[in-house]
Amino acid sequence: MINPTEHIADQFGRIHDYLRISLTERCNLRCFYCMPEDGIVLSEKSNLMSHEEVIAIAQQFVQLGVKKIRLTGGEPLLKKNIEKIIEELSQLPISLGITTNGILLEKYIDLFNKCGVKDINISLDTLNKEKFEQITRRDYFDKVLSNIDLYEKNGFNVKINNVIIKGTNDDEIADFIAFTKNRNIAIRFIEFMPFDGNKWNTEKIITLDDILKVAKERFSEENIITLKSKKNGTAKNFRINGFKGEFGVISTVSNPFCDSCNRIRLTANGRIKNCLFSSTETDLLTPLRNGENIAEHIKKGILHKFKVRGGMETNEDFFNEDNFTKNRNMTTIGG
């Protein structure tokens, strides 16, 4: 059993105990906000973490105080040896979750039950079958919806991640909130974020105020219950009176939550991104393969994390599109 002996802190005293591991850059969807229309150049297989390297790096993070790990992608369930990875990670003293597009979920429900993986985040940006194909460029709507119901009915903690974009799916805000009436799930509306190649601009942003306005018009203000925020939480959460589920808003652009950030991202090619918007990375895979102790690389990589949004402290900096061509596109970062 690993007994953490240290913790990972940055220069502002923020303790980082939540690791998101991207297992693969590959995905079986082609969502326009995540992947450029003309696709991406994938890393060479030899430059990606193997199953054994994922475990070795995860063990080192846990030794340094990480308490929660979430598997992401691309689509993490496309990773070779995913069963072994989940089984071995589940032996660590952590909470283990996964973010997935939901297409392959029915194959893994027994594995997740066995390994105690109860936190399942599923991406779904529309409740309309035709619009799903427009957004994802694929026809998997029925399967994703079926798997959401399967996992909800089997007692998993299901969250639906909805990237909300003006002119694309903002007309479905009320429908998604209504989706929680008889389902014990959480809808999380996520502001459209800028990454290389995703045609982002400020006019497409839907804010917390925009969403609450729709909620008040559809369900009335007195029926909206504000829920207590979780420690290090990224969402402002609400419930409609009498509904089983809840909804929340992640305002990464309009109201960033950097002050309480405890997240570390590890890309599929073994690099730390200490902020989703950071253009700098710390290579862990090369020193690991060279037989080095990667603990110092981890601590150094996080120590120099910027105070807010990868160093873009002003809105002028953040809204400068040139800054995002220096960053990866979303599918190679990991959710």
Dist. CA 304–CA 321, nearest whole Å: 24
Determine, yes or no, domain membership for 69.
yes
pLDDT of residue 29: 85
Determine, yes or no, domain membership for 1.
no
Q: With pLDDT > 70 as the criterion, what percentage of the chain qualifies?
A: 86
- State the DSSP string of 112-145: HHHHT--EEEEE---S-HHHHHHHHSS--HHHHH
Determine, yes or no, domain membership for 161.
yes
Task: For residue 333, give the nearest of 22, 121, 48, 18 by alpha carbon.
Answer: 22
Dist. CA 134–CA 316, nearest whole Å: 32
Return left, alpha or beta for 132; rule: phi > 0 is left, psi -120 to 50 is alpha, else beta: alpha
Dist. CA 167–CA 298, nearest whole Å: 41
pLDDT of residue 280: 84
Structure token pair of residue 303: 């120590």
Strands (E), 242-311: 246-250, 263-266, 271-273, 282-283
pLDDT of residue 233: 83
pLDDT of residue 322: 65
* pLDDT at residue 140 is higher than 70: yes
* pLDDT at residue 209 is higher than 70: yes
Determine, yes or no, domain membership for 2.
no
Q: What is the CATH number of the domain that holds 40?
A: 3.20.20.70
Dist. CA 228–CA 282, nearest whole Å: 35
Dist. CA 92–CA 57, nearest whole Å: 12
Determine, yes or no, domain membership for 40.
yes
Tell me the CA end-to-end span of the chain in Å, nearest whole number: 29
Determine, yes or no, domain membership for 3.
no
Arithmetic mean of pLDDT, 270-291 = 91
The rounded mean pLDDT for the chain is 89
* pLDDT at residue 258 is higher than 60: yes
Arithmetic mean of pLDDT, 268-295 = 92
pLDDT of residue 33: 77
* pLDDT at residue 331 is higher than 80: no
pLDDT of residue 229: 85
Segments forming the whole domain that contains residue 128: 8-333
Determine, yes or no, domain membership for 150.
yes
For residues 238 and 137, the model is more confident at 238
pLDDT of residue 70: 98
Cβ(24)–Cβ(233) under 8 Å? no
The DSSP letter of residue 23 is -
For residues 248 and 42, the model is more confident at 248
pLDDT of residue 153: 97
pLDDT of residue 6: 82
pLDDT tens figures, 70-92: 999 989 999 999 999 999 999 99
Task: Find which of 120-134, 198-212, 318-332 is predicted with most confidence, using mean pLDDT.
Answer: 120-134
pLDDT of residue 323: 59
Q: Kindly report the pTM of this predicted structure.
A: 0.91
Name the domain count of the chain: 1
Arithmetic mean of pLDDT, 123-143 = 95
pLDDT tens figures, 178-196: 999 999 999 999 988 665 5
Arithmetic mean of pLDDT, 282-300 = 97
* pLDDT at residue 175 is higher than 80: yes
Determine, yes or no, domain membership for 211.
yes
pLDDT of residue 122: 98
Cβ(225)–Cβ(241) under 8 Å? yes
